[in-house]
Amino acid sequence: MKKHERIALDSLLSRSSTDDLTGPAPKGEELETILSAVMRAPDHGKLRPWRLALIHGDARAKLADRVVASMKRIDPEVPEKKIEKRHHRMSTMPLTIVLGMHLRPDNKIPLIEQELAVGAAGMNLLNAIHAAGYGAVWVSGEITYDPVFAAELGFPAPHALAGFFFVGTPKHEDHEAKRRPVTPYIAEWNGEPVTFEADKD
Ligand SMILES: Cc1cc2nc3c(=O)[nH]c(=O)nc-3n(C[C@H](O)[C@H](O)[C@H](O)COP(=O)(O)O)c2cc1C
What would the DSSP string read from start to end of 112-179? HHHHHHHHHHHHHHHHHHHHTT-EEEEE--GGGG-HHHHHHHT--TT-EEEEEEEEEEES-TT-PPP-
What pLDDT sits at residue 176?
74
112: left (phi over 0), alpha (psi -120 to 50) or beta: alpha
- Average pLDDT estimate for 73-94: 97
What pLDDT sits at residue 109?
98
- Does domain 3-199 match CATH 3.90.950.10? no
Say if CB 142 and CB 72 are below 8 A apart.
no
Say if CB 22 and CB 94 are below 8 A apart.
yes
Whether the CB of 160 sits within 6 Å of ligand 1: no
Whether the CB of 144 sits within 6 Å of ligand 1: no
Domain positions in the chain: 3-199
List of residues 6+ apart from 95 with CB closer than 8 A? 25, 26, 27, 31, 54, 55, 56, 166, 167, 168
Beta bridge partners of 101: 50, 160
Which pLDDT band holds residue 63 (cuts at 50, 70, 90)? very high
Which pLDDT band holds residue 159 (cuts at 50, 70, 90)? very high
What pLDDT sits at residue 104?
98
Kindly report the protein residue whose alpha carbon is nearest to atom 19 of ligand 1: 17
- Average pLDDT estimate for 144-149: 98
Whether the CB of 17 sits within 6 Å of ligand 1: yes
Which pLDDT band holds residue 14 (cuts at 50, 70, 90)? very high
Q: Ligand 1 mean position to 138 CA, how many Å? A: 5
Whether the CB of 177 sits within 6 Å of ligand 1: yes
Q: Select from 12, 17, 86, 127 the residue to mutate for testing ligand 1; criterion: most ligand atoms less than 8 Å from CB.
A: 17
Kindly report the protein residue whose alpha carbon is nearest to atom 5 of ligand 1: 139
Kindly report the protein residue whose alpha carbon is nearest to atom 6 of ligand 1: 139
Task: Write a three-state SS string for 12-62.
Answer: HHHCCCCCCEECCCCCHHHHHHHHHHHHHCCCCCCCCCEEEEEECCCHHHH
Kindly report the protein residue whose alpha carbon is nearest to atom 16 of ligand 1: 138
Which pLDDT band holds residue 201 (cuts at 50, 70, 90)? confident
- Average pLDDT estimate for 51-64: 98
- Average pLDDT estimate for 101-124: 98
Which pLDDT band holds residue 142 (cuts at 50, 70, 90)? very high
